[in-house]
Amino acid sequence: MLSQEIVRTAIILLILGNLAASLSDVAVKALDGSVSPFQYMFLRQLLSVVLTTPFWLFQPKEKRVLTHFGITLIRSHLILIGSGCMVVAITYLSLATANAVFYAAPLLMLPLSIWLLREYPTRSKVLKTLIGFCGVLIVLRPSQFHWAALFALGTAITLALFQILVRKLPTQQTLPTTLFWTSLFSLPVAAVLAFYDWHTLDIRAVGWIGISAMMVLAYNGLAVAAYRLAPANQIAIAEYSGLILVILLGWGCFGEIPTTLSIIGIGLIVIPLMSFRSIRSLFRLYLLRPKPPLDKRKNITD
């Protein structure tokens, strides 16, 4: 049985990972449409290759070998589609609205897993998915629909497919190997698209893209570390700290204040995805923490 300290550490790592992902979104928002999605895709993937290469080379030779070429190739281009759609969505939507739709990815995984993996969900999962989709509709509000929401949905779909295809990869394949080959395979198409839509970039734009790339890699690393420390059903609730963080960052950095309906919609998206066990674990860790002995408390107050 895992100690509470290990689970608490895993939760902190996951929250820090979500902070990194949120800061990546802030960097994209700060670009304010000054960089085309194709340029962003190419430069981010190029920086990802540069940053992951030392970790890939540091491994033993047998660990660097790629397996499942076709799956990795598909996932690499899903990254391109998803990141391009993400740039458009974050540029034209508030951070909270865009991320609320991004978080629909786990909901989309349910019908996609039926189609691709022949995994059939229970009735409770179907009900939770329907509730989550109602939340997406409330956030998007068809009466005030913005065309950029379609790109946010595109990101959510590619994220869902990206995560489902992880199941097709061998468990012994290391994270640096997966990240390196996935980033490398995406470069040729990204380079061609960027070449035909290239504009001169200033150092500020390159800096924001660099921050975005580093923060995405930081999230991947911290998430893997967290899930290796503790089971997903005990810490997955911390994933949804990302929505709270982007709301705060959107308000603090860009003056974006979500409406009451948006908050309700976000709640309907997130709550069905939380398991009772993960909520209970978090409650025990932080609200029912054992108090220090009387003698230690006395020393603290002295």
Convert the pLDDT of each residue in 12-56 to its tens digit. 888 898 899 899 999 999 998 889 999 999 999 999 999 999 999
Q: Where are the alpha helices (DSSP H) in the chain?
A: 4-31, 37-58, 69-92, 95-102, 105-117, 123-140, 148-166, 175-196, 203-229, 232-235, 241-254, 260-270, 276-286, 294-301
Ordered DSSP codes for 37-48: HHHHHHHHHHHH
161 token code pair: 């497919």
pLDDT for res 301: 45
Convert the pLDDT of each residue in 272-301 to its tens digit. 666 545 555 555 555 555 555 555 444 444
CA separation for the pair 200, 192 (Å, rounded): 16
Per-domain residue ranges of the chain: 4-290
Convert the pLDDT of each residue in 188-236 to its tens digit. 999 999 998 888 888 999 999 999 999 988 888 888 788 777 776 667 6
Residues above pLDDT 70, as percent of the chain: 83
